[in-house]
Structure 1
C-alpha cells in the first residue's frame, strides 16, 4: 500500500513541476581529458626534469631515427608540432653507427651487428650475446589499443599484437637493475672489471618508465656542477620508483641526455656554463592528436 501511495505522490509532484522527470535531468559532463604534466625537481645531487604522458588517445609516442646524427632540437624542428622530444638509444660517435637495435614493425632501422667497431672489438667479444639482447622500449598495437612495454630484444611479441616500433637502450632500471645481465657491467670475485656507462657514478641521465596505469614517464637528470653531479643508475632507479614507475629503462646518458619541451631545450651537461647539446641518432617524441 505504501508503494502505491509513493507512486501517486511522485506523479502528483511531477504534474505540479516539483520534481524533474528523468529525461529532463541535465546530462553529466564528460570526464576531463588528461594532460601532460611537467615538473622540475631539485634534489640534493641533481636537477631532475619529469614529464608524465597519460595513457590516453590524446597523445602518441613516436620514434624517429636518422642515418647520421642530429640534435633533439633538429628532430623537433623537422617534425610538425611535437609536444616533447627526448634522446634515445646508444650509438658510436666515431662512426655514427648504432650500438643498439631500433625497429619499426618488422624492419630493422638500426642494426648494431653492422657496426664493425662493436662486433669486431676483441674486448667486447665475450659480452656480445648480452649486448645484442639488451632491453628496449616497445610500442604494440593490440587490436584498437596501443600499449607500451620494456623487455629484452629477444622477447617474443604477444599474441594478437603487432610491433609498431622498438627502441633499444638499457639497462632496465625497474623492476630491477639489470646492468650485469645486459653486459654493461662485470665483476670477478666482487671486483668490478667492467662498467661501460659508469653506472655507479653520478652523471647526467635520461630514462623512460611505465606506470601501472600505462602512463609513460620521461626523466632527464642534469649534471650541473660538482655539488650537483647527477645520479647513479641505482639512484635513478629509486627516483623512477618514487615517481610511480613499475618498469623503467635507462636511455643513452651523459652528454647525449637532452629534452625538448614547449620549445625549451634542456640538456644533461654543460660546457663552460653553457648547455651542451650533442647530436644523437634516435629520439622518442610526444605528438598530440586532434580531438575525436
Structure 2
C-alpha cells in the first residue's frame, strides 16, 4: 500500500513538472516578438524583368537609385543623433535617428559574431552588442533577416568587399559600391561584385523622396502569389522597426523605433511619412519586431520587445550595420599591398586607384583603350605609341612603339599591328609584289576568270576580258610553264625536227669531208707521180754530143758514128776551139 502511494506521488510530480515545462516554453515562445514578411520560404524569387514591369513608368527600366560618392569631410563628427517622442493614432512611440557622416569610411556590414558567422552549414546568431564588440563599433543596429530555427542568414551579403553569400532573392538592398557611391534598389547577382558593403532588407519604403511601399509589395511578393497577405500585413502592422536610407548630401540615416507587433510602434507608411519631411531620399526596411536592437558605445539604447524572465532583452540576430571611428576603420585588404592605410583610407602608390588600390588607372584617357595600364604607365598595343597610346603608327611602320618597318609593296596596305600586307586586288604574295597568275583576278587572286569562251585573258583587277596588253607575257609564261612541266614530270621533248636538221648537217659535212680527203689524196698522188717522172727523166735521158762546127755540117749527111759505140764511155771530152762538151753516163 505504501508502495502504491509512493508510485502515485512520483507520477503526479512528473506530470506536474511536464506541464510546468510546457507552460514555460509557451511563455518563452510567446515572449518572442516575431515579425516575418514571408511564411515558410523567405524572399521574393521574381525575375528582374517581372520587377521592372511592376514599377511605375516614371522610373523607366531603372531598378535602383544611386547617389554619387559624397565628399569626405573628416572634420565632421562620426554621427549626429536625434531622439523623438511622437504620438501616432493615440499611441506614444520613441524614435532614435542617427545621421552618419563619411559613410564610405565608417559604415560596414558585419556577420554575426564577426567574419564567418553566416557560413553555410554552420551559421551562428549573436546579439548586436556582441557582434559590435568584434569591430569596435561606436554605433550598431540589426540588419538582415534570418531563419529562427536553422540560424541561416537570408539575402545577399557583402562585407569588406567579400561576397559572403549570393542568393536568388529579389528584395530591396542597401549598399556602398567600391566607388563609394550609395545604392538602394533591386540588384542582380552579377552586380554584387561592384559592392564593398551590401545587405538585403524587405520593402523599399522611400524612393526618390516618395513612398514606394505598395509598388514594392507587388515586386517582392512570392512567386506563387500575385499579392502576399503576409507581406501586406508585415508592412501595415504596428511594430518595432529598423530602417536604413540616405539623403541627397550623402548622409546615411539609421532609424529605429520601439514597439511590439500588433500593439505599438509604427507601420511602414507611418515611417515613410515621418522620414520624407526630414529629407530622406531613399530608404529600405530591415529586420524588425523583437530583432530591432540599437547599440551606442556598447550600450543598448532602445527597448527590445523580446522578454527574458522578468526583463526585456536583446535577441540574437544575423548581420548588423556597424559605424566605427575612422581611426579604427581598417583599410580593405590592407590596400592590396599597393598603398598606405591612413585613417581607414588607402593612399595608393603610382598608378593604382580605387578604395583598396586594386585598380590601375593611367590618367583621363587611361591608355585610350589602345594599351595596357601598368604601374609604370601605359604599355601600348602594337600599332600605337605615345604616353596615352593615342598616336597611331605612321605610314610604313608597325609593331610595338611603331619601331618595325613594313615590307609591303605599293600594291598593298600594311597592318599597323602585325605588319601583315593586305594586298590590293590583282596582287598576291607576302609583300603583294606578285601579280595574279593568268586565269585569276581580284582580292588575293581568289576569283577565276570566265573568258574561256572568247579565248581571251581577264584583267587581274576587275576580271574584264582582254588580251591586247598581255600578249608578250602570255608567250613568255607559256614557254616557262611548258619547260617547268617537262622538268617536273621528267618528260622527253619532241625533237624530231631538230634531229632531221642535225642529220642533214652531219651527212653534208661527211660528204664534204670525204670529197676533201679524196681530192687531197689525188693531189698528193699526182704530185708524187710527177716527182718520180722527173727523176726518171733525169736518170735515163740520152747524152747529147757536142760537135764542132765542122762536124755539125755533116749532121744532115750520112755519118759513120754510131751512138752505141759511145755508150761505154765514162767520160768523154771533146775540145775544140769554140765548144766544149762533157758526157756523163
Same fold per superposition (TM over 0.5)? yes
Which of 131, 134, 138 is the equivalent residue of 1:78? 134
Equivalent residue number for residue 47 of structure 1: 94
Are 2:200 and 1:153 aligned? no
Q: Tell whether the 8 Å contact from 1:200 to 1:233 is kept in structure 2 after alignment.
A: yes
SS in structure 1 at match of 2:256? strand
Distance between the aligned counterparts of 1:86 and 1:248, measured in 2? 15
Equivalent residue number for residue 235 of structure 2: 199
Are 2:81 and 1:38 aligned? yes
Residue by residue, what CA displacement relative to the aligned partner does 1:95-153 show, whole Å, maximum 9, x if unpaired?
1112312124775423556xxxxxxxxxxxxxxxxxx11111111122xxx23211212
Q: 1:208 deviation in Å?
A: 0.4
Equivalent residue number for residue 127 of structure 1: none
Residue by residue, what CA displacement relative to the aligned partner does 1:153-185 show, whole Å, maximum 9, x if unpaired?
228659xx9310210112111112212211279
Which of 142, 146, 155 is the equivalent residue of 1:100? 155
Equivalent residues in 2 for 1:103-252, closer than 5 Å: 103-104=158-159, 107-112=162-167, 132-142=169-179, 146-154=180-188, 157=191, 162-175=194-207, 176-177=212-213, 178-183=216-221, 193-195=229-231, 198-223=234-259, 229-252=264-287
Distance between the aligned counterparts of 1:164 and 1:245, measured in 2? 23
Structure 1 unaligned blocks of 5 or more: 1-30, 114-131
Equivalent residue number for residue 50 of structure 2: none
Q: Which has the higher contact order (CA 8 A, sep 6+)?
A: 1
Q: Tell whether the 8 Å contact from 1:50 to 1:219 is kept in structure 2 after alignment.
A: yes
Further displaced range: 272-281 or 168-177: 272-281
More helix by share: 2
Alignment size in residue pairs: 234
Q: Tell whether the 8 Å contact from 1:105 to 1:162 is kept in structure 2 after alignment.
A: no
SS in structure 1 at match of 2:276? helix
Closer, same or farther: CA 258–105 of 1 in aligned 2, 3 Å: closer
Closer, same or farther: CA 97–47 of 1 in aligned 2, 3 Å: same
Distance between the aligned counterparts of 1:233 and 1:184, measured in 2? 19
Q: 1:63 deviation in Å?
A: 1.0
SS in structure 1 at match of 2:150? coil
SS in structure 2 at match of 1:70? coil
SS in structure 2 at match of 1:91? coil
Q: Tell whether the 8 Å contact from 2:222 to 2:228 is kept in structure 1 after alignment.
A: no
Closer, same or farther: CA 110–192 of 1 in aligned 2, 3 Å: closer
User: Which 4+ stretches in 1 moved above 3 angstroms?
Assistant: 104-108, 110-113, 155-158, 184-188, 191-194
Are 2:320 and 1:277 aligned? no
Which of 290, 307, 319 is the equivalent residue of 1:255? 290
Closer, same or farther: CA 68–55 of 1 in aligned 2, 3 Å: same
Distance between the aligned counterparts of 2:314 and 2:305, measured in 1? 8
Q: 1:186 deviation in Å?
A: 9.9
Q: Tell whether the 8 Å contact from 2:128 to 2:293 is kept in structure 1 after alignment.
A: yes
SS in structure 2 at match of 1:74? helix
Structure 2 unaligned blocks of 5 or more: 1-72, 112-116, 118-122, 328-341, 344-585
Distance between the aligned counterparts of 2:223 and 2:272, measured in 1? 16
Are 2:109 and 1:63 aligned? yes
Equivalent residue number for residue 289 of structure 1: 326
Q: 1:76 deviation in Å?
A: 1.6
Q: Tell whether the 8 Å contact from 1:186 to 1:192 is kept in structure 2 after alignment.
A: no
Q: TM-score, normalised by structure 2?
A: 0.37
Distance between the aligned counterparts of 2:142 and 2:174, measured in 1? 13
Residue by residue, what CA displacement relative to the aligned partner does 1:38-72 show, whole Å, maximum 9, x if unpaired?
11110113111111112367x51011112310000
Q: TM-score, normalised by structure 1?
A: 0.70
Distance between the aligned counterparts of 1:211 and 1:217, measured in 2? 7
Computing the radius of gyration over CA atoms, which structure comes out larger, 1 or 2? 2
Residue by residue, what CA displacement relative to the aligned partner does 1:11-59 show, whole Å, maximum 9, x if unpaired?
xxxxxxxxxxxxxxxxxxxx982221111110113111111112367x5
The Cα RMSD (Å) is 3.1
